Amino acid sequence: MEMKKVLVTGGAGFIGSYIVGDLVARGIHVVVYDNFSTGQAEFLPEPCEWLSVIRADVLDSAALLPAMAGCDFIFHFQANADVRGGPVNTRVDLDQNTIATWNVLEAARQQGIKGLAFASSATVYGEPEVFPTPETWAPLQTSLYGASKYACEAMIQAYTEYFGVRCFIYRFVSWIGERYTHGIVFDLMKKLSQDPTRLPLFGDGTQRKSYLYVKDGVRGVMVGVERGGAAKNVFNLGHDHFLTVLEVVRIILDELGLRDVRLEFAGGQRGWLGDSPLVHLDTTRIKALGWHPETSIEEGIRRTVHYLRDHPHLLQTRNRVF
């Protein structure tokens, strides 16, 4: 799709800022739309004629509609990132994911925008029985987060049918890399910064997860948008491999040079309600367009640890909803 001016919701965030950087480098005018609750101004490219920044929330329709004026494409990457918060705050996923996405779709319809890329999640699969899990797997929901993302996907596809908004939906595994602001590496490093002698862990450490380095993931997003030929495009984005939680812990401790850390397991196969013991996606569909991950999961984790070690203030900035 031709892009001259693009809106990126969550454009100052971990993933969104890399999308912004890629677009600006192509000479595309980018409007960053972010409330900066977790996004950071330091993640954005240097100010230039191709970059505009609007500090506002996606739930604010009055601000969202004019922000889209003149845009021909949207990358909707704003969302609640706390997968575990649903049992405590049962409305946050509905508001920050589902209703926010409807607001984006409505504004896009009113502005006549015909293209949208959406950051979905592997959580929409719940606990699948097929691994690696393909896009065609019919999911049964096990978390409010996954349900909210699946509802977003359904609405986006309905708007494609009704109003011709061509869509690119990406079901992500957990991303890692520089500018990382949430997830397992973040949480474990935060715990270790508070007490380097002990490390409380959810579950029994055997949970197996696939992770994707952020620059590989952004390449995948752009390949999908550039080469996906359907009106409704749904792509898994993940790595060919996975690690156990305990393997992730060992890499982090090795990179930090920590020894004799006492690991304290909460027990059970799941880290939290709605957690899947195994996340491993089939990426055949996006690979057919010429994409593949280039960075190993271990290398991605080490780069993440290195970045957070050099930017310790990020460990203090995240606001949880649970």
First to last CA, the chain: 39
pLDDT tens for the chain, 322 residues long, are 789 999 999 999 999 999 999 999 999 999 999 999 999 999 999 999 999 999 999 999 999 999 999 999 999 999 987 787 788 889 999 999 999 999 999 999 999 999 999 999 999 999 999 999 999 998 899 999 999 999 999 999 999 999 999 999 999 999 999 999 989 999 999 999 999 999 999 999 999 999 999 999 999 999 999 999 999 999 999 999 999 999 999 999 999 999 999 999 998 888 888 889 999 999 999 999 999 999 999 999 999 999 999 999 999 865 443 3
pLDDT at 319: 47
Count the neighbouring beta carbons within 10 Å of the beta carbon of residue 280.
22
CA atoms 204, 206, 210, 211: torsion sign: positive
What is the predicted pLDDT for the residue at 317? 65
Q: Where would I find the beta strands (DSSP E) of 238-276?
A: 243-244, 262-265
Write down all domains in the chain, each with its CATH number in brackets. 5-175+211-237 (3.40.50.720), 182-210+241-316 (3.90.25.10)
- pLDDT for residue 318: 56
Handedness of CA 155, 108, 17, 84 (dihedral sign): negative
Pair of tokens at residue 264: 């304290």
pLDDT digits (tens, 9 = 90+) for 135-153: 999 889 999 999 999 999 9
pLDDT reported for residue 320: 47
Q: What is the pLDDT of residue 81?
A: 79
